[in-house]
Structure 1
Amino acid sequence: MNVPLTTLTLTIATPSEVVVDTLAIRSLRAEDESGAFGIRVGHADMVTLLSASVVRWTTPDGNERFCAVDGGVLIVSNGTTVSLACREAEPGDSLAGLEAQVHRARANRLDAIRRARVEQTRIHAQAVRQMLRYLSPEKTRGEFE
């Protein structure tokens, strides 16, 4: 006798980490270009491109969990497995807490980009000074040292 499956398996991965690893869930709600949609056990196989949004799911014990994603690819296979691959994902237990986490992560990312640009400009200026030193006539080389 076949016992009907009551849970899905969810995996969310980014290039640098597996954020959610084969978690049992009852249902999932996500959003693509056509709008929001839900997935339950037995859902037809599908592949869709997600919009930047919050994916939410319900665990077997009835708790809701959330994950902010910057878009990505969602795959449903065999009516029981949901896989999501995206560049960035920020999981959370509540929407309010998730919003704060996303703001912090975005601020950290922007700060890292700013620091990288400053370092790139510094290295570029150093390279230009070095080239000028080597390309200038002998009598003016002392000005750059």
Structure 2
Amino acid sequence: MRLRIDTPLEIVVDEDQILSFRGEDESGAFGILPGHAAFLTSLSVSVVRWTRSDQSTRCCAVRRGVLTVMGDRTIAIATREAVVGNDIETLEGTVVTRFRSEMETERSERVDSTRLQLRAIRQIMRHLQAGGQVASGPLG
């Protein structure tokens, strides 16, 4: 099988001769072997791992993403951010924790931004209601 992991900025992994693959989505862990049916899923923040034809194992921390299996030969992952490594404990302990923390910070910033926008809309509505009417043009 072939494995390709892409971010918006680079191709992080592009390898042939993959014997097996393990990933994780919201429903849990799953595996892919040669001949797997077409498949599409949304990955969790997690570490994916694969075994090469020389029996070595590699892994990559992904910041969520979309995984597709196409033509029973190609596994493709599109993700926002990915870090490749050989030590799964380091990736899980450091990188995945950082990914989750950054996602929580971004979520908090989006909530704060939405609150500010809603406050501005409420102030505009109060201002318009206090004035009674919106100024009309020459036809109004």
How far did 1:18 drift?
Answer: 0.4
Please give the alpha-carbon distance, in whole angstroms, between the structure 2 residues aligned to 1:13 and 1:101: 21
**Consecutive unaligned residues in structure 1, runs of 5 or more:** 1-7, 114-145
1:92 is matched with which residue?
85
Return the TM-score normalized by structure 1.
0.63
Q: Say whether the 8 Å CA contact 2:47–2:92 is kept in structure 1.
A: no
1:60 is matched with which residue?
53
1:74 is matched with which residue?
67
Aligned residues: 102
Q: Say whether the 8 Å CA contact 1:10–1:23 is kept in structure 2.
A: yes
Equivalent of residue 83 in structure 1, options 76, 87, 91: 76
In structure 2, what residue type is equivalent to 1:45?
Answer: A
Identical-residue share of aligned pairs (%): 50
How far did 1:100 drift?
Answer: 6.6
How far did 1:95 drift?
Answer: 1.4
**Consecutive unaligned residues in structure 2, runs of 5 or more:** 106-140
What does 1:22-61 align with in structure 2 at a 5 Å threshold? 22-61=15-54
Structure 1 stretches (4+) deviating beyond 6 angstroms?
Answer: none
Please give the alpha-carbon distance, in whole angstroms, between the structure 2 residues aligned to 1:36 and 1:99: 15
1:21 is matched with which residue?
14
RMSD between aligned alpha carbons?
2.3
Per-residue CA shift, 1:45-85, capped at 9, x if unaligned?
01100111000000111111100001100000111100000
* Greater Rg by CA: 1
Please give the alpha-carbon distance, in whole angstroms, between the structure 2 residues aligned to 1:97 and 1:23: 25
Per-residue CA shift, 1:5-41, capped at 9, x if unaligned?
xxx1000000011000143210000011111000011
In structure 2, what residue type is equivalent to 1:40?
Answer: L
Per-residue CA shift, 1:83-131, capped at 9, x if unaligned?
000000010011134357627x949xx7xx9xxxxxxxxxxxxxxxxxx
SS of residue paired to 1:26: strand
In structure 2, what residue type is equivalent to 1:94?
Answer: D
SS of residue paired to 1:15: coil
